[in-house]
């Protein structure tokens, strides 16, 4: 129920002529963006996807260090669509009060986001599949803004693979009887691609958002198409080094995670069944750190997602370790669309990745470290029956990604601290900040630097997100006229110089005041610089308490009587599917 935006594939098809800004190539490529829901990078699910391997991986560049900065569906998608951190969109969860489609609308974030920017630049914008959580039978008339064509799955049926309900452009929702949701998504996408490439001249941006391999409502296992149910019967969830680890490791974990009991045989069987059912499209964490199944945690399985780009001038068959994050995609698409930088929205926190895509082998200076801010507010969840979620799951984390050193540092709302040396401990087992590991002076000095950077990134806006070291440098100068010039703070290694011990020691240690379900500025002091306390508030309406509209259906929408997705249905086109489709009645909608 709490989906993590996961597999991302961007394939840039042909090029089409179109008026463009003078600084840019007039041939503007089409952009096709495919993302699945809750797919892992580290549990090998991509190995089972042959078409993906043949069509995209072998013919594109795979980026192995791409991150979702909030490991949860709605915040992650909002962040991608606005090019901003979750702390600036304030869409911080999948449901009220943290956020969902209704909060997104009420804050007016839908008046200024990616499809609108691309449309203004002359692109045709289309979207098929799952949009933001809470686009529901009560809200379907408020079709997401900015799309020339929007065909969205409607709640509460989004996770019912055997009961596909879509609303096209805000029209009465349609039930596609007799078909599996994934087949309907495929047929719809093919029909739109035909239209876009044959029947109109604009360059286009098309998103396909699948629900697979997400679990069904209530943590029930997803339903694969009938034709795939016998595939991969022998597959089991990989026993990674941090899979169901011993008590000594669990004792080092923070907040609710340290309470996990070792997974017993029936839970392990369930995890393997879950993996098996997923076969072709797989999940997120499964048994790592004893957490049964799900996301919402800061660890590598939950935040580092598959990301592959295929297109003009993107090398084929390459693996790149250049770091990036979802909120960098909006500026990247703006650059592809030849929009002049002076016209970019002021609030973007990300940076364009286009030069990385064109030169994925170009490792920058090995001393250079990329800082990835990871954050979460409110409830963490488990999708393993018998293992419940927990409200104390707010945290602020940074990943420092470098070729010579690499770290994950996390401050939890419970006051717990975690530090992992992710170069030497990639499965994040030895918590160097934990008292049982008796942190030495060097570790403490390192944590003071990481605290300094976290103070900036946890609430950064715009340039401060791109250059957090500069904020520290300016702060140092403001506090101390003798603070040295130069690029002393340009990377972690330079900042480790003992000359700066006093400065880093003088910084307050970041701690949440308490565990809350939402982002409240006063709970997350201090702010560096002080102006970042606005948390994106200049670019959205303020919404505090709000109500999710509901309707009371008096009649149930029928499930397909049999499981769908047979071999024969593999190539059925949308026109054929439409013959059995019908509009939902007002009794079914409750309107
Ligand atoms: C490689 O990266 C460096 C550092 O970012 C940059 O200065 C240089 O222009 C890049 N080279 C190419 C070919 O993109
Ligand atoms: C395993 O643990 C779950 C959750 O605590 C429990 O419901 C189940 O009965 C246990 N199974 C076995 C075989 O002990
Ligand atoms: C959450 O953490 C706070 C602070 O440590 C603690 O007082 C509270 O009991 C915790 N809540 C739950 C439900 O465990
Ligand atoms: C974020 O949203 C919550 C809930 O809607 C609200 O209470 C809080 O004040 C907002 N925070 C900011 C910084 O806008
Ligand atoms: C639906 O039913 C609930 C419970 O009876 C009621 O509180 C609510 O007002 C109803 N909503 C609508 C839109 O009729
Ligand atoms: C879909 C596509 O472009 N496939 C190509 C992938 O790369 C191989 C080898 O270069 C080509 O043979 C395919 O046509």
- For residues 321 and 450, state if they share a domain: no
* Ligand with smallest separation from the Cα of 591: 5
User: Where among 539, 567, 584 does a domain terminate?
Assistant: 539
> Mean pLDDT: which of 26-40, 63-77, 144-158, 271-285 is highest?
144-158
414 domain-assigned: yes
Name the pLDDT band for 1 (thresholds 50, 70, 90): very low
For the stretch 339-374, pLDDT in tens is 999 999 999 999 999 999 999 988 765 445 589 999
- Which of helix, strand or coil describes residue 149? strand
Q: Is 342 in a helix, a strand, or coil?
A: helix
- Distance between CA atoms of residues 493 and 366, nearest Å: 11
In DSSP notation, 260-302 reads: PPPP-HHHHHHHHHHHHHHTTS--SEESBTT--EE--SSSHHH
Q: Is the CB of 116 under 6 A from ligand 4?
A: no
Q: Which ligand is nearest to the CA of 367?
A: 1
What pLDDT does residue 21 have?
A: 56
Q: Residue 530 domain-assigned?
A: yes
> What total number of domains does the chain contain?
2
Percentage of the chain beyond pLDDT 90 is 62
Q: Are 320 and 379 contained in the same domain?
A: no
The residue behind tokens 């907040």 is 255
Q: Is 73 a catalytic residue?
A: yes
Q: What is the helix (H) or strand (E) element at residue 326, kind and residue range?
A: none
Q: How big is the chain by its Cα radius of gyration, in Å?
A: 24
How far does residue 455's CA lie from ligand 4's centre (Å)?
Answer: 20
The pLDDT score that the predictor gives to residue 266 is 83
* 153: pLDDT strictly greater than 90: yes
Q: Which residue among 24, 73, 413, 515 is the active-site one?
A: 73
Where among 324, 358, 392 does a domain terminate?
358
Neighbours of 236 (CB within 10 A): 14
Question: How far out from the chain centre does Cα 132 lie?
Answer: 12
Helix (H, G, I), strand (E, B) or coil at 29: strand
Would you say residue 461 lies in a domain?
A: yes
Q: Has residue 16 got a pLDDT over 70?
A: no
Cis amide linkage into residue 213, ω under 30° from 0: yes
Are residues 351 and 381 part of one domain? Answer: no
Are residues 351 and 379 both part of a single domain?
no
DSSP codes of every residue in 448-494? HHHHHHHHHHTT--THHHH-HHHHHHHHHHHH-TT---SSTTSSHHH
Q: Is residue 387 part of a domain?
A: yes
The verdict on 337 and 387 lying in the same domain is no
What pLDDT was estimated at residue 15? 46
CB contact at 8 A, 210 and 35: yes
Q: By C-alpha distance, which of 245, 250, 249, 243 is closest to 272?
A: 243
CATH of the domain at 350: 3.40.720.10
pTM, full prediction: 0.92
> pLDDT tens across 59-87, in order?
999 999 999 999 988 999 999 999 999 99
CA atoms within 13 A on the CB side of 541: 14
The answer to whether the beta carbons of residues 175 and 165 sit under 8 Å apart is yes
Q: Please state, rounded to an integer, the average pLDDT across all residues of the chain.
A: 88
Closest-CA residue, ligand 5 atom 6, reads: 552
Instruction: Label residue 282 by pLDDT band (50, 70, 90).
Output: very low
Is residue 167 domain-shared with residue 190, that is, in the same domain? yes
Q: Looking at 262-266, 334-338, 416-420, 504-508, which range is the least confident one?
A: 262-266
Domain span at residue 471 reads: 371-539
97 lines ligand 4 (CB under 6 A): yes
User: In which band, very low, low, confident or very high, does the pLDDT at 491 lie, cut at 50, 70 and 90?
Assistant: confident
* Distance, CA of 416 to CA of 414 (rounded, Å): 6
**Statement to judge: residues 310 and 396 lie in one domain:** no
Question: 394 and 352: one domain?
Answer: no
- Protein residue with its CA nearest to atom 1 in ligand 1: 362
Percentage of the chain lying above the pLDDT 70 cut: 92
pLDDT at 186: 93
Residues 504 and 419 in one domain: yes
Is 249 a member of any domain? no
Give the residue whose CA is nearest to atom 2 of ligand 6.
55
26-40, 247-261, 427-441: which is most confident? 427-441
Compute the distance from residue 511 Cα to the ligand 3 centre, in Å: 15
Q: Report the nearest-CA residue for atom 6 of ligand 4.
A: 544
**Residue 451 maps to a domain:** yes
Same domain for 342 and 487, yes or no, is no
Whether residue 9 is contained in a domain is answered as yes
Confidence of residue 459 (pLDDT cuts 50, 70, 90): very high
291 and 389 both lie in a single domain:
no
Q: Which of 523, 539, 555 is the last residue of a domain?
A: 539
Q: Is residue 569 situated within a structural domain? A: no
333/402 same-domain check: no
């Amino acid at each position: 129920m709490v989906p993590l935006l996961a597999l991302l594939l961007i394939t840039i098809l042909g090029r089409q002529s179109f008026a463009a800004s003078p600084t840019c190539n007039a041939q503007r490529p089409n952009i096709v963006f495919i993302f699945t829901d809750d797919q892992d990078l580290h549990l090998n699910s991509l190995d089972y996807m042959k078409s993906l391997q043949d069509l995209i991986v072998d013919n594109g560049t795979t980026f192995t260090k791409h991150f979702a900065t909030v490991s949860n569906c709605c915040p992650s998608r909002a962040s991608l669509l606005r090019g901003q951190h979750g702390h600036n969109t304030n869409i911080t969860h999948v449901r009220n009060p943290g956020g969902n489609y209704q909060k997104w609308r009420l804050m007016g974030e839908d008046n200024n986001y990616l499809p609108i920017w691309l449309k203004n630049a002359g692109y045709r914008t289309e979207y098929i599949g799952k949009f933001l959580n809470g686009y529901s039978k009560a809200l379907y008339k408020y079709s997401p803004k900015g799309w020339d064509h929007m065909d969205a799955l409607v709640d509460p049926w989004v996770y019912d693979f055997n009961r596909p309900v879509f609303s096209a452009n805000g029209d009465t929702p349609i039930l596609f009887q007799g078909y599996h949701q994934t087949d309907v998504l495929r047929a719809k996408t093919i029909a739109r691609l035909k239209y876009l490439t044959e029947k109109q001249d604009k360059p286009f941006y098309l998103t396909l958002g699948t629900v697979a391999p997400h679990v069904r409502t209530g943590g029930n296992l997803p339903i694969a198409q009938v034709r795939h149910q016998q595939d991969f019967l022998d597959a089991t969830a990989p026993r990674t080094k941090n899979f169901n680890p011993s008590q000594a490791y669990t004792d080092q974990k923070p907040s609710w995670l340290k309470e996990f009991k070792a997974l017993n045989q029936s839970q392990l069987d369930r995890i393997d069944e879950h993996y098996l059912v997923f076969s072709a499209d797989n999940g997120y964490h499964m048994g790592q750190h004893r957490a049964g199944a799900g996301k919402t945690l800061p660890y590598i399985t939950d935040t580092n997602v598959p990301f592959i780009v295929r297109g003009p001038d993107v090398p084929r068959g390459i693996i790149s370790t250049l770091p990036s994050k979802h909120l960098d995609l909006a500026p990247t698409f703006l650059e592809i669309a030849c929009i002049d930088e002076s016209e970019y929205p002021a609030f973007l926190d990300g940076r364009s990745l286009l030069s990385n895509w064109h030169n994925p082998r170009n490792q920058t200076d090995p001393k250079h470290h990329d800082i990835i801010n990871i954050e979460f507010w409110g409830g963490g969840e488990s999708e393993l029956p018998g293992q419940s979620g927990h409200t104390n799951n707010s945290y602020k984390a940074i990943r420092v990604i470098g070729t010579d050193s690499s770290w994950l540092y996390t401050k939890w709302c419970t006051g717990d601290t975690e530090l992992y040396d992710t170069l030497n401990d990639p499965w994040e087992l030895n918590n160097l900040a934990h008292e049982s590991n008796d942190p030495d002076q060097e570790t403490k000095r390192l944590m003071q630097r990481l605290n300094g950077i976290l103070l900036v990134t946890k609430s950064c806006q715009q340039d401060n997100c791109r250059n957090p070291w500069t904020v520290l440098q300016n702060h140092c100068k403001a506090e101390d006229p003798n603070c040295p010039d130069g690029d002393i703070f340009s990377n972690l290694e330079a900042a480790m110089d003992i000359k700066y011990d006093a400065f880093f020691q003088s910084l307050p240690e970041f701690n949440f005041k308490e565990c809350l379900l939402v982002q409240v500025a006063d709970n997350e002091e201090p702010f560096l610089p002080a102006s970042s306390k606005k948390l994106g508030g200049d670019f959205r309406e303020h919404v505090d308490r709000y109500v999710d509209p509901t309707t009371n259906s008096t009649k149930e929408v029928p499930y397909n009587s049999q499981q769908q997705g047979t071999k024969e249905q593999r190539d059925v086109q949308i026109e054929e599917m439409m013959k059995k489709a019908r509009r939902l009645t007002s009794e079914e909608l409750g309107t």
